[in-house]
Amino acid sequence: MSDPVTREEIFDANFLERLRTLVLRLRKRRALMRRGMQSTPATGHTREFKDYRRYTANDDFRAIDWRLYARLEKLFVRLYEDVQELHVHIVVDTSGSMARPFPEKRRQALRFAVALAYLGLSGQHRVSLYSMNETTRQDLAPLRGQGNIEKVISAVTRWNFEGFTDLEKSFTDFRPNRQRFGAIFVISDFFGREVGTAVEAVNRAAGWPGEVHFVQVVHPWEISPDLDGEVELADVETGEKRRFWISKREVKQYTQLFESFTENLSHACASRRINFFRCTSDEPFEDRFLELLTQGSAMAGA
Amino acid sequence: MHFLHPSQLQWLWLALLPVALWLFRRKAKRVPVSTLLFFRSLAREHQESAWLRRLKRWLALLLTLLVLGLVTLALARPYRSGGDDVPKSLVVLLDRSASMAAVDSKGHSRLDEAKSLLRDRLKSLPENVICSLVIYDAKPQVAQSRSTNRRELLRLLDQTQPSPVEDHPDEAMAVAQRLAALDAPCQIWHASDRALIMEKGKQKADKSSPYRFLNVALEKPLNIGITGFQIRPAPLARNRFEAFVEVSAAAANEKTVEATLEARLDGRPVQLRQMELKPGASVRLILPLEGGRGQHLEMETRCAGDVLGWDNVAAAPLPELKPLVVAWFADSPDPFVELALSSLLAEDRIQVLKGGAKDFPPKEKPDVYVFENWLPKDWPTDRPAIVLNPPSSVGPIHAKKLDRAVPYESTRAVLPEHPLLYRVASSRVALTQTTVLNVSDTLETLWMAGQEPVLAAGEAGGQRLVVTAFVPSKSEQLALLSAFPLMIGNAIYWCAENNESLASLKPRRPGDLVPMEPGIVKWRAWDGSKFYDISEESRSGWFEPRHIGIFEGAHGKADASLLLSAHESDVPAKPAPEASSSGSERGAERWASGGSWRNELLWLAFGLLLLESWLFHRLAVY
Q: Where are the domains of chain B?
A: 2-81+598-617, 89-219, 224-319, 324-502, 514-561
**Mean pLDDT calculated for residue range B88-97:** 92
**Mean pLDDT calculated for residue range B465-481:** 83
Q: Which residue has the higher pLDDT, B584 or B267?
A: B267
Closest by CA to B521, choosing from B491, B489, B543, B499, is B543
- Asked if B37 lies within 8 A of A194 by C-beta distance, the reply is yes
Q: How many other C-beta atoms lie within 10 A of the C-beta of residue B539?
A: 9
A42 pLDDT more than 70: no
Tens digit of each residue's pLDDT (9 = 90 or more) over B606-622:
998 888 888 777 665 44
B588 pLDDT more than 80: no
- Asked if A240 lies within 8 A of B40 by C-beta distance, the reply is no
**pLDDT, averaged across chain A:** 81
SS3 A241: strand
Which residues in chain B are contacts of A263 at CB distance < 8 A? none
Poorest-confidence range of B16-30, B290-304, B344-358, B569-583? B569-583
- Asked if A240 lies within 8 A of B36 by C-beta distance, the reply is yes
The CATH classification of domain B89-219, taken from the options 3.40.50.300, 3.40.50.150, 3.50.50.60, 3.40.50.410: 3.40.50.410
A236 closest CB neighbour out of B32, B37, B46: B32
Provide the residue type at A269 as one letter: C
Highest mean pLDDT among A250-264, B18-32, B45-59: A250-264
Q: Which phi-psi region, left, alpha or beta, contains residue B553 (left: φ > 0; alpha: ψ -120 to 50)?
A: beta
On whether the pTM is more than 0.80, the answer is no
The CATH classification of domain B324-502, taken from the options 1.10.240.10, 3.40.50.880, 3.40.50.2300, 3.10.350.10: 3.40.50.880
What CA–CA distances, in Å, run from B455 to A53, B464, B505? Answer: 179, 14, 28
SS3 A130: strand
Which residues in chain A are contacts of B36 at CB distance < 8 A? 233, 235, 238, 240, 242
Which residues in chain B are contacts of A105 at CB distance < 8 A? 34
Contact at 8 Å (CB) between B131 and B340?
A: no
The CATH classification of domain B224-319, taken from the options 2.40.128.630, 3.40.50.2300, 1.10.10.60, 2.60.40.10: 2.60.40.10
d(CA B136, CA B141): 6
- Asked if B36 lies within 8 A of A235 by C-beta distance, the reply is yes
Q: Kindly indicate whether the ipTM for this predicted assembly is greater than 0.95, answering yes or no.
A: no
Shortest distance, CA B51 to any CA of chain A (angstroms): 14
Poorest-confidence range of A143-152, B210-219, B257-266, B453-462? A143-152
| Interface membership of A101 toward B (CB under 8 Å) | yes
| Interface membership of A245 toward B (CB under 8 Å) | yes
A245 closest CB neighbour out of B36, B38, B621: B621
Tens digit of each residue's pLDDT (9 = 90 or more) over A249-271:
888 989 999 999 999 999 999 88
Within its chain, how far is the Cα of B608 from the centroid? 53
Tens digit of each residue's pLDDT (9 = 90 or more) over B176-188:
999 988 887 888 9
Contact at 8 Å (CB) between A190 and A265?
A: yes
- Asked if B28 lies within 8 A of A227 by C-beta distance, the reply is no
Local confidence band at B445 (pLDDT 50, 70, 90 cut-offs): very high
Element (H, E) at B259: strand B257-265
Which residues in chain A are contacts of B26 at CB distance < 8 A? 229-230
Shortest distance, CA A195 to any CA of chain B (angstroms): 6
Which residues in chain A are contacts of B39 at CB distance < 8 A? 233, 242, 244, 254
Local confidence band at B310 (pLDDT 50, 70, 90 cut-offs): very high
Q: 11-50 in B: which are within 8 Å (CB) of A? A: 26, 28-42, 44-46
Tens digit of each residue's pLDDT (9 = 90 or more) over A106-121:
999 999 999 899 888 8
d(CA A162, CA A170): 15
Angle at B327 between CA B324 and CA B332, to 5 degrees: 140
Tens digit of each residue's pLDDT (9 = 90 or more) over B358-412:
888 888 888 899 999 999 999 998 899 999 999 999 999 999 999 999 998 888 8
Residue from B25, B39, B53, B617 whose CB has the most chain A CBs within 10 Å, to mutate: B39
Which residues in chain A are contacts of B38 at CB distance < 8 A? 195, 254, 257-258, 261
- Structural domains for chain A: 7-29+85-301 (3.40.50.410), 39-81 (no CATH)
Task: Please state whether beta strands B89-95 and B130-136 pair in parallel, antiparallel, or not at all (unpaired).
Answer: parallel
What share of chain B in percent tops pLDDT 70? 88
- Is B324-502 the same fold as B89-219? yes
The residues facing B3 across adjacent strands are B78
**Mean pLDDT calculated for residue range A61-82:** 81
**pLDDT, averaged across chain B:** 85
Give the torsion through C-alpha atoms of A42, A43, A47, A51, to 10 deg.
110
Shortest distance, CA B20 to any CA of chain A (angstroms): 19
Contact at 8 Å (CB) between B4 and B149?
A: no
A40 pLDDT more than 70: no
The residues facing B412 across adjacent strands are B448
How confident is the model at residue A47, as a pLDDT? 53
- Asked if A254 lies within 8 A of B46 by C-beta distance, the reply is no
Shortest distance, CA A260 to any CA of chain B (angstroms): 10
Shortest distance, CA B621 to any CA of chain A (angstroms): 8
- Asked if A225 lies within 8 A of B33 by C-beta distance, the reply is yes
Cis, bond preceding B376 (omega within 30 deg of 0): no
B44 pLDDT more than 60: no
A76 pLDDT more than 90: no
Shortest distance, CA B30 to any CA of chain A (angstroms): 5
Tens digit of each residue's pLDDT (9 = 90 or more) over A197-213:
888 888 888 888 788 89
How confident is the model at residue A48, as a pLDDT? 59
Shortest distance, CA A142 to any CA of chain B (angstroms): 32
**Mean pLDDT calculated for residue range B598-611:** 87
- Asked if A242 lies within 8 A of B34 by C-beta distance, the reply is no
Which residues in chain B are contacts of A243 at CB distance < 8 A? 28, 45-46
Residues written for chain A: 302
Which residues in chain A are contacts of B622 at CB distance < 8 A? 247
